[in-house]
Amino acid sequence: MSQLRTNAILDASGGNTATINGIPLRQGVLDPENRIINGAFDFWQRGTSTTADAYIADRWSNSRLGGTVTASRQSFALGDTFGSNSPTFFWRQDVSGQSATSHYARAATPIEGVRSYAGQTITVLGWARRSSGSGNMAIGLEQTFGTGGSPSTFVAVGAQVVTLTTSWAAFAVTFTVPSISGKTLGTNNNDSLLVTAWTSAGSDYNSRFATTLGLQTIGVDLWGVHIKVGTHTTAATDLYKQPELGPELARCQRYYEKSYNVDVAPGTNTSIGATVFAGSSDSASISYCTIYYAVQKRTVPSLVGYRTTGTINVWDFTRSGLNSTATVGAAAPFPGAKSGVLSLIVGATFVPVAIYGHWVADAEL
């Protein structure tokens, strides 16, 4: 087999049009090493701030216990750059009031499948700074084997402390990911490799750290989190290209999709993007609306309906001389990863009508 060894492939036109088998040679499109999704924090389909232990930026959760921990979307100034990147948003986590040994705060993103990088050396890279308070952060990994049945206990790969200042600076943390030979997966198909950025940690979590972090009052900003296979220094961040928006949104929608516009949080009072369904009821005054997803989901998602005014589990319906509401539930007959079904209980037998509302499909790990 022929081999080609070179340090660089340059586009003859000086642009970004060089391809291999029609695939553009641009890291934002073709970057098989990096399995972190939305590490540039462009997408926040659920909203822009939360104090809950919950997802907020797509694929990133505000993982926390105790005190007040707020994750929020922040904006770069126009003209701010990291290498050749001109980013839009970044992640901020503010931590205060933690005091117990069980308290912690971290940003966390699961990479689907615990097989990811198993047995390999990888480097987690990105940019970070301290926006308030004092202290540092720690980058860690956790192999989780899922739920259901009798899965193996999770394996923490010692989190390493990254020194922060009040200015943006690149970081690079290298790990040897353990083999998963001999391990047992859960039966629910939700195993993962969890990437974490700890901002506070009580002593209950000391065993998860190569060097302990401790409880902190701090604000930490993150951007451009990604993975490269092998051992790398911060100089490798110069090669990072933030993903193109279209392909990256589709990667996010494998786990979470909605009828609302991408920058509108579920429950907002808006009819823009609402699904309109024309149908009629059966004898029990129930109609079924099939939702076809733009991207096939990781698994059968939970499906929730919203009225255009924002009320959960309600849609509107209209027919000649009557406007009312229908109770909405996710239901059989045919839920799946490509499409889902909402049951619409109207309360009275009706002839063909227009039924409309919003929906959210959640297939997160």
Predicted structure pTM score: 0.90
Which tokens is 245 given?
């928006």
Residue 205, helix vs strand vs coil: helix
User: How many other C-beta atoms are found inside a 10 Å radius of the C-beta of residue 169?
Assistant: 14
Cis ω for the linkage preceding 333 (within 30 of 0): yes
Q: How many CA atoms lie within 13 A of 115 on its CB side?
A: 3
In three state form, how does the secondary structure of 63-113 look?
A: EEECCEEEEEEEECCCCCCECCECCCEEEEEEEECCCCCCCEEEEEEEEEC
Q: Which ranges of the chain have pLDDT less than 70?
A: 1-30, 279-284, 319-323, 330-334, 347-352
Which residue matches tokens 């406007």? 323
Q: Where are the domains of the chain?
A: 32-253, 275-362
pLDDT given at position 277: 82
pLDDT given at position 12: 54
Cα 190 to Cα 185, 337, 341: the distances in Å are 9, 15, 23
Q: State the average pLDDT for the chain.
A: 90
In CATH, what class is 32-253? mainly beta
pLDDT given at position 78: 97
pLDDT given at position 285: 72
